[in-house]
Amino acid sequence: MALLTLETVHAALFADDPADKAERSIALYAACERGERLPASTPADAARLARDADRHPGHPAAPALVAPASLKRRGVGSEAGRIALLHSLAHIEFNAINLALDAVWRYPGQSHDYVEDWLRVARDEAEHFTLLAERLVTLGSRYGAHPAHDGLWDMARRTEHDILVRMALVPRILEARGLDVAPPMIERLQQAGDHASAAILQRIYTDEITHVAVGNRWFRHVCEQRGLDGAAVFRDLLAGGHSVWLRGPYNREARLLAGFTEAELDLIREMEDEYRRDNAPV
Ligand SMILES: [Fe+2]
Ligand SMILES: [Fe+2]
């Protein structure tokens, strides 16, 4: 029996238990690797999409979701600080599983290459989440022991109406931010002597370059399909209020590896500067 259907992608997206969601995501990509192809959307799939389009993806009762500003930031010099960091990263990875599955489920009718790319991302995110969740247990904590914020899903909400906007902003702004912050984090963990956590972050960093590349690939593809100039589309989206998400310093080297052009990276920096100028406190 085929494992890869929009129904099973939906089941993974709305699974509440993190371990269950991770297992389902890993199984979906394994089916893809065995040669299964996602069948075309059926009337039942369309009905599920209409019913659940605004529903929050599955998540466990804990962590409690709170306002980002209420979360304390701590240094990684202490074990409590490292646990807080690993917990916040586990939460990001949990959301990233949902974002990758949502990219498949919400926009039916895409090519097999698109489905394969995003299911591979979902599989990677499931592995990232699992590595971090296991590390938390080793350190005497667990995923759900601390509060977390819902900022990532907020961006998903703002971009869900159009695959072009989703591809332009979620992987290329939010996931790409991970490329900027990971190397200094890895270094700080090394300095604190936590080599096991540093190794997990290094693995995640390497994979995330490929995820941002997937975002760049499909952003360009949709622009081409619609006969749009990608650079102009990106500039308009940023100017339309999305510059609020830009935050340097940028890891140019990793971003170039992930397929950004020099011109796009210059644009991102300019748009951030412009946003800061226009919104500076008086
Ligand atoms: Fe990840
Ligand atoms: Fe990712």
Which tens digit of pLDDT belongs to each residue from 27-68? 999 999 999 999 999 999 999 999 999 999 999 989 988 877
Spatial separation of the C-alpha atoms in residues 7 and 122, rounded to whole Å: 16
Q: Which residue has the higher pLDDT, 257 or 240?
A: 257
Of the listed ligands, the closest to the CA of 94 is 1
Spatial separation of the C-alpha atoms in residues 259 and 62, rounded to whole Å: 36
Do 83 and 141 meet the contact criterion of CB atoms below 8 Å apart? Answer: yes
Compute, in angstroms, the gap from residue 205 CA to the centroid of ligand 1: 8
- pLDDT at position 282 over 80: no
Compute, in angstroms, the gap from residue 47 CA to the centroid of ligand 1: 30
Compute, in angstroms, the gap from residue 204 CA to the centroid of ligand 1: 6
Spatial separation of the C-alpha atoms in residues 122 and 98, rounded to whole Å: 8
Compute, in angstroms, the gap from residue 161 CA to the centroid of ligand 2: 21
Contacts of 111 (CB under 8 A, 6+ apart): none
Q: Which domains does the chain have, with CATH numbers?
A: 6-39+70-278 (1.20.1260)
- Which helix or strand (DSSP H or E) is residue 224 part of? helix 195-225
Compute, in angstroms, the gap from residue 117 CA to the centroid of ligand 1: 14
Compute, in angstroms, the gap from residue 235 CA to the centroid of ligand 2: 23
243 SS3 class: helix
Do 136 and 143 meet the contact criterion of CB atoms below 8 Å apart? Answer: yes
Compute, in angstroms, the gap from residue 155 CA to the centroid of ligand 1: 16
- Which helix or strand (DSSP H or E) is residue 65 part of? strand 65-66
Compute, in angstroms, the gap from residue 178 CA to the centroid of ligand 1: 9
Q: pLDDT of 63-73, one tens digit each?
A: 988 877 777 77
Q: Sort residue 259 into left (φ over 0), alpha (ψ -120 to 50) or beta.
A: left
Compute, in angstroms, the gap from residue 15 CA to the centroid of ligand 1: 18
Compute, in angstroms, the gap from residue 208 CA to the centroid of ligand 2: 5
Task: Tell me which of 100-114, 250-264, 268-282 is least confident.
Answer: 268-282
- Which residues are registered as beta bridge partners of 34? none
Tokens describing residue 28: 């979906």
Cα 241 to Cα 158, 162, 175: the distances in Å are 11, 16, 18
Spatial separation of the C-alpha atoms in residues 28 and 43, rounded to whole Å: 21
Which residue, 119, 137, 17, is CA-closest to 83? 137
Q: What's the pLDDT at 141?
A: 97
The label of the residue with tokens 């699992």 reads 130
Number of residues assigned to the chain: 282
Compute, in angstroms, the gap from residue 125 CA to the centroid of ligand 2: 6
Compute, in angstroms, the gap from residue 84 CA to the centroid of ligand 2: 20
Peptide bond into 63 cis (omega under 30): yes
64 burial (CB, 10 Å; 0-12 / 13-18 / 19+) is exposed
Mean pLDDT, the chain, rounded, equals: 94
Of the listed ligands, the closest to the CA of 175 is 2
225 burial (CB, 10 Å; 0-12 / 13-18 / 19+) is exposed
Surrounding ion ligand 2 within 5 Å at CB are: 96, 175, 208, 211
Q: What's the pLDDT at 68?
A: 78
Q: pLDDT of 72-82, one tens digit each?
A: 777 888 999 99
Which residue, 153, 142, 148, 140, is CA-closest to 71? 148
Quickly state the pLDDT bin for 1 (edges 50, 70, 90).
low
Q: With b meaning 16 or more CB within 10 Å and e meaning fewer, what string describes 87-119? A: bbbbbbbbbbbbbbbbbbbbbbebeeebbbbbb
Compute, in angstroms, the gap from residue 153 CA to the centroid of ligand 1: 15
Q: What's the pLDDT at 151?
A: 78
